[in-house]
Structure 1
């Protein structure tokens, strides 16, 4: 299968491409920095630096769109919000336009989104049918999804990845949490009552492959493990796995001073469950947080 992937050097992209190559797929990565991408992904991948010289995607069987500026790295100034939005919207619109212009378009367009689509939902159980709250993360993801869905037709199905917190050995949110926890300075954020919808990187990759290979599946999918936990439970379990204490609670006001509006990413949450994935027959490898954390931290 000929696959075009954006965001290939990111956490999910790296793991996904390794699996696709092991399955003998041909992978093309769209990236602005082909030198860096080649260092990360190797020589078995083909690289495109732009879409500007292309009028269609007739030679591509499937598109997987994972591109986007990291959302939690900087304060959400108006300029940063614009950058976060454009890094997702522009490439998605370009891909959708090329798919629609194709005589033989890709059979599937798998495009990124996030559980932030729902906004802060407190303790409510969240399936893909839940009504969102009108926060910035919803506005960001809703437009992102709308642009992807513009590529849908009787020849191209669109799957939307409403992704939670991806747990992996290197990178992602866990990489930022591990240093203080490893020296015994970890603890809950704010009240600790907010839910954290997590997913192991292996399940994330397997779920994308499942969507890729099942021609009847389309629409939004919560890419989260079946059992989300509260922040205080997550922190206690991480400390337990690392055999460290867990008492250094970070006050909400301190996070708001540090992160500004972006603090909603860690002080709010979604009790999101993968209703549509499980209904479609997908089987998770990692149901329990303890097992997932032991695996990614090497504490088996």
Structure 2
């Protein structure tokens, strides 16, 4: 039986598909262009196009599609796109699962650690409630659409992903040129916690979730060892063998340069504990930040 994956062209989606296929799994990716083979199927979430037959008899669906959070300023129009690309696409996918002759039994759907809002120094596991702000509200709506699959018996897991470390892109990929130039510096106060997970552990955790029936509901996709932004900055500089700037980048400068994204994405504190993964026996390959950075770089 196939595993259906959306968002396979993204950083983490591509790594997951490669790992699954490398392990002998049959994977079908949903694409917005004309499919190029039997391992691809058409969907156009913006137009509500997805044939339920594509999902008929699949063992699981891994839903990772969504417009990028970072990389551009949050205009009113782009914030609407962030919502539409997540909420509407998830609603379409769940409806197609429901209408399939034999619905997939598992839905693993992306979310984010932003669900919790700014948690300061407090350690947060999956039992914590939703926070405040645009991203928290978006995650609440996104997860609610995915959870609707439970109504027809699917096991649903919600990936509250932290900062995924990969040299191929994502937050770390954007930092590397700055740090290699010796210009890396703490952001804002530098005291905000950054939860993180290595790309190999993210892929391993998703495979663990797919294979472990006890994993349901929200899952903190984060290493057990979050660090402050200042420690992250210092550690990345040390791993690269480059100096870092001790003077932090002021909050105002970040806000002027990045707009709302700075206050919502870079400056909040997220100190996550991956309770579900630890409690169900997942063993992290990279629990230490320096070790994780060396592994992915």
Same fold (TM over 0.5): yes
Q: Give the TM-score normalised by the residue count of structure 1.
A: 0.93
Aligned length: 291
1:16-55 map, 5 Å: 16-33=16-33, 45-50=39-44, 52=49, 54-55=51-52
**1:68 aligned to 2:66?**
yes
How far apart are the structure 2 equivalents of 1:242 and 1:294?
Answer: 9
Pairwise CA distance, 1:75: 1.7
Pairwise CA distance, 1:48: 2.4
How far apart are the structure 2 equivalents of 1:217 and 1:276?
Answer: 7
How far apart are the structure 1 equivalents of 2:103 and 2:73?
Answer: 39
How far apart are the structure 2 equivalents of 1:96 and 1:116?
Answer: 23
Flag structure 2 segments of 5+ consecutive residues without an equivalent. none
Partner of 2:270: 270
Partner of 1:252: 251
Partner of 2:79: 81
Question: Cα distance 1:154–1:34, how it changes in 2: closer, same or farther (>3 A)?
Answer: closer
Partner of 1:186: 184
3-state SS, counterpart of residue 159 of structure 1 = strand
Partner of 1:212: 210
- CA RMSD of superposed structures (Å): 1.6
1:140-159 map, 5 Å: 140-153=138-151, 155-159=153-157
Question: Cα distance 1:221–1:133, how it changes in 2: closer, same or farther (>3 A)?
Answer: same
Pairwise CA distance, 1:46: 2.5
**1:224 aligned to 2:218?**
no
Question: Cα distance 1:34–1:10, how it changes in 2: closer, same or farther (>3 A)?
Answer: farther
Q: Give the TM-score normalised by the residue count of structure 2.
A: 0.94
Kept after mapping to 1: 8 A contact 2:115/2:139: yes
Kept after mapping to 1: 8 A contact 2:119/2:269: yes
**Which deviates more, 85-94 or 52-61?**
52-61
**1:2 aligned to 2:2?**
yes
